[in-house]
Amino acid sequence: MQFCCMNLIIDQGNTATKAALFEGGILKTKVIYAKKDIHRLEDWIAQNCQSDTNILWSSVTNQPIKINSKKILCLTSTTPLPIENEYETPETLGKDRIANAVAIWSKTKKNSALCIDMGTCIKYDLVVENAYKGGDISPGMVMRYKALNVFTDQLPEIMPNQAIFENNFPEYGISTATSIINGVQQAIVHEVNGFVARYQERFGPLTIFMSGGDAKFFDKAFKKGIFAFSVKYWEDLTLCGLNEILEYNVKS
Give residue-wise pLDDT tens across range 109-122: 878 999 999 988 99
Decide: 24 and 4 in contact? Cβ < 8 Å: yes
Which residues are registered as beta bridge partners of 209? 115, 232
CA angle 210, 90, 238 (to 5 degrees): 30
The CATH number of whichever domain residue 94 belongs to comes to: 3.30.420.40
Name the residues annotated as catalytic.
Answer: 96
DSSP string, 22-34: EETTEEEEEEEEE
Rounded to whole angstroms, how far apart are CA atoms 37 and 47? 16
- On whether both 50 and 158 belong to a single domain, the answer is no
Is the pLDDT at 163 greater than 60, yes or no?
no
What percent of the chain has pLDDT above 70? Answer: 94
How many other CB atoms are there within 10 angstroms of residue 150's CB atom? 10
- Model confidence at 56, pLDDT cuts 50, 70, 90, reads very high
Rounded to whole angstroms, how far apart are CA atoms 105 and 130? 7
What pLDDT, on the 0 to 100 scale, is given for residue 124?
A: 97
Q: Which of 74, 89, 107 is the last residue of a domain?
A: 74
Q: Which of 35, 56, 74 is the last residue of a domain?
A: 74
* Mean pLDDT over the full length of the chain: 89
What type of residue sits at position 25? G
Give the residue-averaged pLDDT of 183-196. 92
Burial class (CB in 10 A: 0-12, 13-18, 19+), 17: buried
- On whether both 86 and 42 belong to a single domain, the answer is no
Helix axes 141-150, 176-203, angle to 10 degrees: 130
Is the pLDDT at 193 greater than 70, yes or no?
yes
What pLDDT, on the 0 to 100 scale, is given for residue 8?
A: 95
Give the residue-averaged pLDDT of 194-216. 93
Give the residue-averaged pLDDT of 145-157. 95
Is the pLDDT at 206 greater than 90, yes or no?
yes
How much is the CA Rg of the chain, to the nearest whole Å?
20
Is the pLDDT at 167 greater than 60, yes or no?
no
Nearest to 115 by CA among 99, 131, 138, 129: 99
Decide: 121 and 140 in contact? Cβ < 8 Å: yes
pTM: 0.90
Domains contained in the chain, number? 2
Give the residue-averaged pLDDT of 192-215. 94
What type of residue sits at position 159? M
Please list, residue by residue across 20-41, b when 16 or more beta carbons sit within 10 angstroms of its beta carbon and e when fewer do. bbbeeeebeeeeebeeeebeeb
- Model confidence at 190, pLDDT cuts 50, 70, 90, reads very high
- On whether both 86 and 68 belong to a single domain, the answer is no
- On whether both 36 and 58 belong to a single domain, the answer is yes
Residue 185 vs residue 134, higher pLDDT: 134
Give the residue-averaged pLDDT of 72-92. 96
- On whether both 137 and 223 belong to a single domain, the answer is yes
- On whether both 85 and 156 belong to a single domain, the answer is yes
- On whether both 217 and 251 belong to a single domain, the answer is yes
Give the residue-averaged pLDDT of 154-170. 71
Give the residue-averaged pLDDT of 173-195. 90
Q: Calculate the alpha carbon distances from 251 to 54, 82, 118, 206, 248 in Å.
A: 11, 11, 32, 29, 5
Stretch among 79-83, 172-176, 187-191 having the lowest mean pLDDT: 172-176
Decide: 234 and 50 in contact? Cβ < 8 Å: no
- Model confidence at 241, pLDDT cuts 50, 70, 90, reads very high
Residue 24: CA atoms inside 13 Å, Cβ hemisphere, count? 3
- On whether both 143 and 246 belong to a single domain, the answer is yes
- On whether both 165 and 211 belong to a single domain, the answer is yes
Is the pLDDT at 1 greater than 70, yes or no?
no
Rounded to whole angstroms, how far apart are CA atoms 151 and 147? 6
- On whether both 133 and 157 belong to a single domain, the answer is yes
Decide: 214 and 165 in contact? Cβ < 8 Å: no
- On whether both 22 and 120 belong to a single domain, the answer is no
Stretch among 17-26, 152-161, 215-224, 228-237 having the lowest mean pLDDT: 215-224
- On whether both 107 and 226 belong to a single domain, the answer is yes
What type of residue sits at position 142? V
Decide: 224 and 200 in contact? Cβ < 8 Å: no
Stretch among 12-21, 96-105, 133-142, 237-246 having the lowest mean pLDDT: 12-21
Structural domain that includes position 44: 1-74
Q: Which of 74, 101, 124 is the last residue of a domain?
A: 74
What pLDDT, on the 0 to 100 scale, is given for residue 55?
A: 94
